[in-house]
Amino acid sequence: LGWASIDGEEPIALVSAALHHTVKTAFGGLLVTPMALLGDLDLDGFDALAIPGGMDRAGPPGFYADALSEPWLAVVRHFNQRDKPIASVCVASLSLGAAGILKDRSATVYHQVGGKRKSQLEGYGAKFVDESLVVDGKLISSSGPGTGIEVALALLVMLTSKANADKIRKLMRVPIPDAAWRTTPQVQPGSVAGA
């Protein structure tokens, strides 16, 4: 979304925020310092919520400890109650489910063979769709880390316009995925084993 601030229809300010002063990433344990703590922000001053995915491989407290915690779920509910766009990448859609906003709504999640995350999402009442990117009203969910740029562009459409998102896509040299990218199941029929 940073490119949209420079070359788009209107400035888009991106603020990284977290529950803690530092966040340890799942890949290599890189420490990330958010711009703000969630508790210090006036959430009504924001137009949308974008949630990256993660995993617990980095060690305590781990992605799910924060993503499924009540302080975080309250943030998700806040944006939903105000009918503001919420975008989630990979397993972050589990936060939407845990917050209670996916009941009878279409969504996707990273799930792989065995379907553990798919089952979790359905357990929250979501209608699982095995596609790369699913938009249901103002909720965006995706099936893996490689979908992040498409999630950002879908969010940009909601915040500005399709023409603006198309312009940013072109400037960033991001190709338009073909229909198969969106609709190819993440787990192929006949796959067995795994988690």
Q: What is the mean pLDDT of residues 174-184?
A: 91
Q: How many Cα atoms are found within 13 Å in the side-chain-facing hemisphere of 150?
A: 21
34-61: b (≥16 Cβ within 10 Å) or e: eeeebeeeeeeebebbbbbbbeeebeee
Please tell me the predicted confidence (pLDDT) of residue 188. Answer: 74
Query: Is the per-residue pLDDT at 83 higher than 70?
Result: yes
- The closest of 149, 194, 195 to 176, measured between CA atoms, is 149
Q: Is the confidence at residue 193, as pLDDT, over 50? A: no
Question: Which pLDDT score, from 0 to 100, does residue 112 have?
Answer: 79
Average pLDDT, the chain: 90
Residues 6+ apart with CB under 8 A from 122: 128
pLDDT at 194: 42
Residues 153, 159: Cα–Cα separation, whole Å: 10
Residue 76: which of 127, 15, 168, 139 has the closest Cα? 139
- Residue 73's Cα: distance from chain center in Å? 14
Q: What is the pLDDT of residues 126-161, one digit of tens each?
A: 999 999 999 999 999 999 999 999 999 999 999 999
The string of pLDDT tens digits covering residues 20-67 is 998 887 777 788 899 999 999 999 999 999 999 888 765 666 788 889
One-character DSSP codes across the chain: -HHHHHHSSS------EESSS-EE-TTTT-EE--SEEGGGS-GGG-S-EEE----GGG-TT-HHHHHTSHHHHHHHHHHHHTT--EEE-GGGHHHHHHTT--TT-EE-----TT-HHHHHHHHTT-EE--SSEEEETTEEEESSGGGHHHHHHHHHHHHS-HHHHHHHHHHHT-PPPPHHHHHS-SS-TT--S--
State the pTM of this model. Answer: 0.92
Structure tokens belonging to residue 132:
């790369």
